[in-house]
Structure 1
Amino acid sequence: MTAKKAAIIFLLLVTICSFGFAQQPLIEVKAQVDTSVITIGDKITYSIIIDRAKDLRIIRPGEGINLGSFEIKGYHFPKPQVKDNRVIERFDFTISVYDTGTFVIPPYPVAYFPSDTSKKYQVVEAPAIEIHVKSVLTGSAKKELKDIKGPIDIPFNYKFWISVAAVLVLLALIGYLLYRLYKKRKERGYLITPPPPPRPAHEIALEALNKLFASDLIEQGKYKEFYSRLSEILRTYLEGRYFFPAMEETTREILTGLKENEPSEERYRELEYVLTLSDLVKFAKYVPDEREIKESREKSLQFVEATKIVFAPQEEEKNGAQEPLMVEEKKEGT
């Protein structure tokens, strides 16, 4: 083989290797468990593995991440491994669940910045994992049936029946007195004043939002407390407005439920922005800038105002009766 041919082969190998390295993404996120079938109360090791470029900035998972129905019993974060300008980081969590059935460890969002000058983050998710939890009970052996016992003679208890008669007379007397009281108050209103109707969900939400925005949590640097409260207010409003258990659902499940109830794409995007940013601050220790905080406030108020239900009176009918009419208010473009 001549030197010229050897040089050509060497250049081809270098080109192929360079092309192969160029195809590797900036970041890859995987999730795995040591077992997917357990009995109730067993512990599982759940791992998030991040394979990234050495100079890539990321927001690492914290100790208190949201794992749905699973409780975190412990955690271990081994030292990162560096190899060929790549960093492999592993985050191990010991988790458990105390119920039977099929449970899902929700996707975990990992935020990263594509370059050193990037101010906006991008998100890549560790995939969801299904865990099947079986009961420790295997069923008891069939028990032997016993013979039926014969009848037992019960002596007549005079004291018991006298007590029963006294109670019945007392109940009849109380009923008579209540009836007389009802007759006297019939013209003046209810015997017992009914409780006032519950406040509309949007009134409660707007009041809570304004109180939160007037607080000094942001000025004190308490971003996690601020966004935890903001997420709780919006989830409570969604339960009262759309009647689904938003407090028990993940952000992805909430957004899926909202699409089925709220046709407006703009409303969907407003809620998606606020809840996603809240998750990053609560679970990934992300520190939002002034613009993101301002947008969180504006989009939260806009979402509640645009999706609230208002009540308007119907036109007075011929007989003079008037009934309330429920009107759903839609404010597109707000």
Structure 2
Amino acid sequence: MRKHCILILGIWTLLLALTWAQTENPSLIEVKAQVDTATITIGDHILYSIIIDRQKDVRIIEPGQGINLGMFEIKDYKFHEPVKKGDHLIQRYDYVISVYDTGKFTIPPYPLAYFPSDSSTKPAIIEAPAIDIYVKSVLKGEEAPELKDIKPPLDIPFNYRFWGMVAAAVLILGILLYLAYRLWKRKQEKGYVFTPPPPAPPAHEVALNALQELFASDLLEREQFKEFFSRLSEILRAYLEGRYFIAALEETTTEIMQEIQAHLADESLRKQLQEILTMSDLIKFARYIPAKEEIERLKELSVDFVQKTKIIYEAEPDHKEVAVTTDNPEQAQRT
């Protein structure tokens, strides 16, 4: 009997210790997303809420009035005052949204930037989960349109004028098709229709010119950080498409970094690219305001990345071939 009592007392003490440890080490921050309904008809309103539960000393970049909600249109919004709960603050951001099409739609995950402590200089990211919404048509049951009987066929008299116009149109179309065929045949034989097109400029020249034009703009002076880094990210993604032939303009940063491993062997250059794209996403979607030093660093990294990964054309001694030197020796080609 005494052994049983000691065992029960030990288990009870262990449970108290685990409970005390959980209360003494709460999570820094938690982000939730919720809707009042997941099934609506076209035009109905949905109350979408982002709820942030954080410790008082954790700083956040709060959601704005125009956050990205995919296909959904924001009709109204309301930001509630923070509610204190122990050493935590609970903040709620409500958005009234709607969509004008039927089918399944997804409210994308919202990336929240936060600083774990007052001494933190770079934010961390935590995401509110995505939510699926199903939109139904308002026409159903008794409201469906009534089907009427088919009317009997009508006798249509022969229209000489109409058929004459049809014959003329067919003749003109035939002539145009013949001319188009001759032009196509000429292009197949000579490679061009009228005059040979000028060669397209290399991808790195296009990227460097675009970067210089962007740096010379007044976007940073007007503190248009989102527009500046959206354009910077677009220039680098277009360069990746022209340089490595990947669909970078249609991919997320994560997808680009996964695909670029097969083309870019230098790990330091991959980390350099990831830093540029990740910080650009943070500024575009999380309303992060970079310091002047960060802006200058990202500008330098962008130019440096293009310079170090560009294709260099070198004439061989016999001047008959051109050697193409890339950042990856395995991809060297001759044209």
Q: What is the TM-score with the length of structure 2 in the denominator?
A: 0.70
Q: Does 1:144 align with 2:149?
A: yes
Query: Where do residues 225-240 of structure 1 align in structure 2 (5 Å cutoff)?
Result: 225-238=227-240
Which AA in structure 1 matches 2:249? Answer: A
What is the CA–CA distance in structure 1 between the aligned matches of 2:197 and 2:155, rounded to whole Å? Answer: 52
Q: What's 1:296 paired with?
A: 298
Matched residue SS, 1:66? coil
Contact 2:111–2:285 under 8 Å retained in 1: no
Q: What's 1:154 paired with?
A: 158
Query: Where do residues 117-136 of structure 1 align in structure 2 (5 Å cutoff)?
Result: 117-136=119-138
Give the stretch that moved more between structures: 58-67 or 192-201.
Answer: 192-201
CA RMSD of aligned residues (A): 4.5
- Deviations along 1:208-241, one digit per CA (max 9) or x if unpaired, are 1122234454455443332232233234445555
The unaligned stretches of length 5 or more in structure 2 are 1-12, 330-335
- Matched pairs, number: 303
The Cα shift of 1:112 comes to: 1.8
Q: What's 1:246 paired with?
A: 249
Contact 2:253–2:277 under 8 Å retained in 1: no
Which AA in structure 1 matches 2:286? Answer: A
Query: Where do residues 1-334 of structure 1 align in structure 2 (5 Å cutoff)?
Result: 18-138=20-140, 140-147=145-152, 149=153, 152-154=156-158, 157=160, 161=164, 192-193=194-195, 195-196=197-198, 198-219=200-221, 221-238=223-240, 242=245, 244=247, 246=249, 253-260=252-259, 262-263=261-262, 264=264, 266=268, 268-305=270-307, 329-330=326-327
Matched residue SS, 1:91? strand
What is the CA–CA distance in structure 2 between the aligned matches of 1:137 and 1:197, rounded to whole Å? Answer: 56
The Cα shift of 1:26 comes to: 1.0
Contact 2:253–2:274 under 8 Å retained in 1: no
| Change in CA separation of 1:75 and 1:107 when aligned onto 2, cut-off 3 Å | same
Which AA in structure 1 matches 2:271? Answer: R
| Change in CA separation of 1:254 and 1:54 when aligned onto 2, cut-off 3 Å | closer
What is the CA–CA distance in structure 2 between the aligned matches of 1:221 and 1:227, rounded to whole Å? Answer: 11
What is the CA–CA distance in structure 2 between the aligned matches of 1:204 and 1:154, rounded to whole Å? Answer: 61
Which AA in structure 1 matches 2:108? Answer: P
- Deviations along 1:253-276, one digit per CA (max 9) or x if unpaired, are 342255235424555533432233
Contact 1:114–1:122 under 8 Å retained in 2: yes
| Change in CA separation of 1:266 and 1:131 when aligned onto 2, cut-off 3 Å | farther
| Change in CA separation of 1:17 and 1:233 when aligned onto 2, cut-off 3 Å | same
The unaligned stretches of length 5 or more in structure 1 are 1-10, 184-188
Contact 2:51–2:93 under 8 Å retained in 1: yes
Give the stretch that moved more between structures: 302-311 or 199-208.
Answer: 302-311
What is the CA–CA distance in structure 2 between the aligned matches of 1:223 and 1:151, rounded to whole Å? Answer: 68
Which AA in structure 1 matches 2:259? Answer: E
Q: What is the TM-score with the length of structure 1 in the denominator?
A: 0.70
What is the CA–CA distance in structure 2 between the aligned matches of 1:82 and 1:196, rounded to whole Å? Answer: 67
Contact 1:246–1:254 under 8 Å retained in 2: no
Identity %: 50
Which AA in structure 1 matches 2:64? Answer: G
Contact 1:102–1:130 under 8 Å retained in 2: yes
